[in-house]
Structure 1
Amino acid sequence: MTNERRVLVHPDKPSLAGSVAARFITKMIDVIEDRGEATVVLTGGTMGISILAAIRDSSARDSVDWKRVNVWWGDERWLPRDDAERNEKQARDALLDHIALDEKRVHPFPAAGEGIELNEASQLYASELASHAAEGSTLPIFDITFLGLGPDGHIASLFPNRGGILEETLSVIAVRNSPKPPPERLSLTLPAINSSLRVWLVVAGADKASALGLTLADVSVHEVPASGAQGRKRTLFFVDNEAAAEVPENLTTPGLFWTGEDA
C-alpha cells in the first residue's frame, strides 16, 4: 500500500470546511459500501468542529448510513463529561446529536469526575480500542483520522519536546502539564494515529503558516509533532490560503503539492 501526501489549498475557512465535509461524506459512503462499516477519529478545535457543522448542514448528510459509522477521538481534555470545552461535547453539539448514529459505536474518552484517575482512563481507552480490533491487533481499522495543527506544530495532545510524541508502545497516553490548557488530557499516540488508512490534517489561519511549512519540510518530529503524521494509504493537508503562505517552494511540484481538488 503506497502513501500519498497531498496539500489542497482553499480560499478561506468556510470553503475549506465545506470542501472537507463534502469529501468526508463521499468517502464514508464509499467505505461503507466496500466494508459494511466505516470508522472515523475526530478532532476538536475551531476547524475540526466547523467541519462537523458543515457535515450537519450538508444536503447530502443523510446519504450516509450513520448507523454503520464508528466514532473515536484523537484526544480529549480531562474535564467533566458535560463541560463545553470537551471535544466530545462540541462534536455532539455540532453533528453527532443531529444524525442517526448507533450510540454503541460512539467511543468518547473517559471524563473527569467519574471515579477514575487519568492514568486509569488512558488504560481504559486503550483497552476499549483493543476490544474493537481484529485478532492480533490492538487498534480498530481507522478509515479517516482528523487532525488539527497547533501554531507550535502539535497534533492531538502530542506537544513539541515532550515525551508523549516519542511513545512507541502505548496506543493512548495520559498528558500532564500540557503547555495548552487544560493541563491534563488524554491522547492517542503517534503510532496509533499512523495506523489510520487516511490522515486528514485541516489547517487554517496565518498563525498556522509557520508550523505547516515546518511540517512539510520534515522537521524533527520531536520539534514539530505534525511532521510525523502519516496515514498508511494517504495523508491529506486541507489548508486555507493564509495557512499555505510558508509552504516550502520545493513542495509545490506535481506529485507533492496540489491546489484545488485532487483526482
Structure 2
Amino acid sequence: MNAAAEVRRHDDADVLVGDVASALLDRIESAQARGEVPHIGLTGGSIAEDLHRELARRAPDSSVDWSRIVFWWGDERFVASDSPDRNALQAREALLDHVAVDPAHVHAVPGSDEVATAEEAAEAYSATMRSEGAGFFEVLMLGIGPDGHCASLFPGHPALEARDAIAVAVHDSPKPPPDRVTLTFEAMERCRAVWFIASGAGKAEAVARALADEGTVAETPARGVRGDETVWWLDEDAASAL
C-alpha cells in the first residue's frame, strides 16, 4: 500500500517554487548518481511555468545531466502543436529550450496538426510510453483545479472510469479547450513520487477535499492519484482550508 500523503507548506508562491525546484534537482541528481535515467512527468499552469523558469535559472549551477532525463506530460490540450494552450509548448519556452535536453527524450502528446482526433493522439502517446517508458515515473508533477481535477480527469467525467489504458481522450472538458488527452489513474499511479503543486486561495477548498479523510474520487479526482511517495507542495493560501 502506498504511504499516506505528506503536506509541505510554504510562506508564499516564490518560496514554494524555490523549494520544489531544489527538491526536484536533488532527486534527479540522486537518480543519475545511481546510474538511472529518470523519467519526469511535467504539468501545466502558472505555478508550473514559474517552476520551469526557476529550474532553467538554476540549471547552470546544477550537476544534473539534462540529456539523461526523459520528459513526459500528465495531460495535454488537443490543439495544434504550436498553440500557446499546449503544456508542452509552455514547458519548452520556459525550460526545455534553455537546457541541454536530448530531443529524443522529450515525449509530447501529438497535436491536432499531427493526428486527426484526440483518440489517435491518446493511442500514439500510449504506444510511445510502452516503447520508450521506464514503466514508472521518478517524479510525476500534477496541479489541482478549483474543482478538484488533476491532469485532465474532471469530476464526474467518464475518463475517471478508464481501465487497462495508459492515456485516453477527453471531450467536453469543463475547462477550454474541450478536447484533451490525459493519463489514466492507473498510469499515474506507477510513480516513485507524485508531487501535487498548488498555489493560491482559489485552490484551498479543493486541496482540503483532496486530503480529507472522507470523500470520493468522482467528486475530487485528485484523491485518486498516489505514488510510492505522495507530497502536496502548497503555499499558505492553498493550504488555508486544511
The alignment status of 1:228 with 2:224, answered yes or no, reads yes
Whole-angstrom distance in 1 between the partners of 2:136 and 2:189: 11
Kindly indicate whether the alpha-carbon contact (under 8 Å) linking 2:25 and 2:62 is maintained by their aligned counterparts in 1.
no
- Give every structure 1 segment of 4 or more consecutive aligned residues whose post-TM-superposition deviation is greater than 6 Å: none
Give the alignment of 1:82-121 within 5 angstroms: 82-121=82-121
1:128-153: CA deviation from partner (whole Å, max 9, x where unpaired)? 1111246xxxxx32100000000000
In the other structure, the counterpart of 1:16 is 16
In the other structure, the counterpart of 2:178 is 183
The alignment status of 1:67 with 2:67, answered yes or no, reads yes
1:159-201: CA deviation from partner (whole Å, max 9, x where unpaired)? 0011112212211010100000000000001111111110000
The alignment status of 1:201 with 2:196, answered yes or no, reads yes
1:109 offset after TM fit, Å? 0.4
Number of residue pairs aligned between Structure 1 and Structure 2: 241
Kindly indicate whether the alpha-carbon contact (under 8 Å) linking 2:39 and 2:133 is maintained by their aligned counterparts in 1.
no
CA distance 1:61–1:93, shift in 2 (3 Å): farther
Whole-angstrom distance in 1 between the partners of 2:93 and 2:180: 21
Whole-angstrom distance in 2 between the partners of 1:174 and 1:217: 29
Q: Percent identity?
A: 37
1:116 offset after TM fit, Å? 2.7
1:156 offset after TM fit, Å? 0.3
CA distance 1:2–1:155, shift in 2 (3 Å): closer
Give the alignment of 1:1-263 within 5 angstroms: 3-58=3-58, 61-133=61-133, 140-218=135-213, 219-231=215-227, 233-247=228-242
TM-score (normalised: structure 1): 0.88
1:61 offset after TM fit, Å? 5.0
Whole-angstrom distance in 2 between the partners of 1:158 and 1:206: 21
Whole-angstrom distance in 2 between the partners of 1:61 and 1:163: 45
TM-score (normalised: structure 2): 0.96
Whole-angstrom distance in 1 between the partners of 2:68 and 2:75: 22
Kindly indicate whether the alpha-carbon contact (under 8 Å) linking 1:25 and 1:60 is maintained by their aligned counterparts in 2.
no
Runs (5+) with no aligned partner, structure 2: none
Whole-angstrom distance in 1 between the partners of 2:46 and 2:97: 18
Whole-angstrom distance in 1 between the partners of 2:139 and 2:191: 6
Give the match's secondary structure for 2:239.
Answer: helix
Give the match's secondary structure for 2:174.
Answer: coil
